[in-house]
Structure 1
Amino acid sequence: MTYTQNDIEQVANELITKATSRTLCFYGPMGAGKTTLIKSIVNALGGADAANSPTFGIVNEYHHTDGEILGYHFDCYRLEDETEVLDLGFDEYLDQDVWVFIEWPEKIKTFLPEDNFPIHIAIIDPLTREITL
């Protein structure tokens, strides 16, 4: 699926529909738009929070407009060792019945659930991205 920023809401809705798991793993180079796509997905799911990258905090929590937890957003880019994710209580986040969005999942591949839904984003040009599921 190829898209531009103008199509991002439609892409987000389509990904929600196609996802076979609530754990979405976003693969792609820096600047591919992983966080931007996650923002759109959180919005499409009825998120009350403005999604942003948890680069420095590693994990963000998002809520529905009714206050219930919608999901968690992990940015594993800064992790030096994949076991660091265990110090964050990663397994406990996964045990909840909520959405989990993971950027840079290749940095914690040993701890990813088997039923995760991988989303690969490639940069085609400065305005165009391609998703492979």
Structure 2
Amino acid sequence: MKKKYQQNELSEIAKELLATVASKKLCFHGEMGAGKTTLIKAIVKELGGDGDVSSPTFGIVNQYQKSDGALLGYHFDFYRLNNESEALDFGLEDYLYSKGWIFMEWPEKVASLLPDDVAHIYLQLVDSTTRSIVVENN
């Protein structure tokens, strides 16, 4: 999947992305402001998530449920990690092998800890209202 999109197309992009990925472990790459968290919000909504979706920058991980209370998945923001051992300390490996969806922002901070079966989503700012997305399955 490779395309450009606008904010008002996020729901369609989320649907297309979910139909494209071969994994429930998604790595989101892009500079600050590229729309990683915004896209994750749209994906969680598309998957039937219930509640607020926000970047877990300070808490490192957020847990999301479906409207029936079942686990939907986990959202990580590794931006503030100083090294991979910090991710090991909070049990990243246990999360990665859970049955839920895994959304990871700044995955390059934990590159050697990532399993082989992740999908990489690359987001780029095109202009103030347009983003580009490239999805690569491993």
Tell me the TM-score normalised to structure 1 length. 0.98
CA distance in 2, matches of 1:24, 1:48: 19
Q: Are residue 36 (structure 1) and residue 38 (structure 2) matched?
A: yes
The residue identity in structure 2 corresponding to 1:66 is: D
Determine the structure 1 residue equivalent to 2:61. 59
**Secondary structure of 2:132 counterpart:** strand
Gaps of 5+ in 1: none
Determine the structure 1 residue equivalent to 2:50. 48
Tell me the TM-score normalised to structure 2 length. 0.95
Gaps of 5+ in 2: none
CA distance in 2, matches of 1:122, 1:8: 14
Q: Are residue 107 (structure 1) and residue 105 (structure 2) matched?
A: no
What is the number of residues matched between the two proteins?
A: 133
Determine the structure 1 residue equivalent to 2:118. 116
**Secondary structure of 2:126 counterpart:** strand
Q: Are residue 83 (structure 1) and residue 85 (structure 2) matched?
A: yes
Determine the structure 1 residue equivalent to 2:20. 18
The residue identity in structure 2 corresponding to 1:123 is: L
CA distance in 2, matches of 1:58, 1:124: 28
| CA deviation vs aligned residue, 1:107-133 (integer Å, no higher than 9, x gap) | 100101111000000110011000011
The residue identity in structure 2 corresponding to 1:100 is: I
| CA deviation vs aligned residue, 1:9-63 (integer Å, no higher than 9, x gap) | 0001111111110000000000000000000000000001221000000000000
| CA deviation vs aligned residue, 1:70-127 (integer Å, no higher than 9, x gap) | 0000000000111211111111111111100000000100101111000000110011
Identity level (%): 51
**Secondary structure of 2:57 counterpart:** coil
Runs of 4+ off more than 4 Å = none
The residue identity in structure 2 corresponding to 1:47 is: G
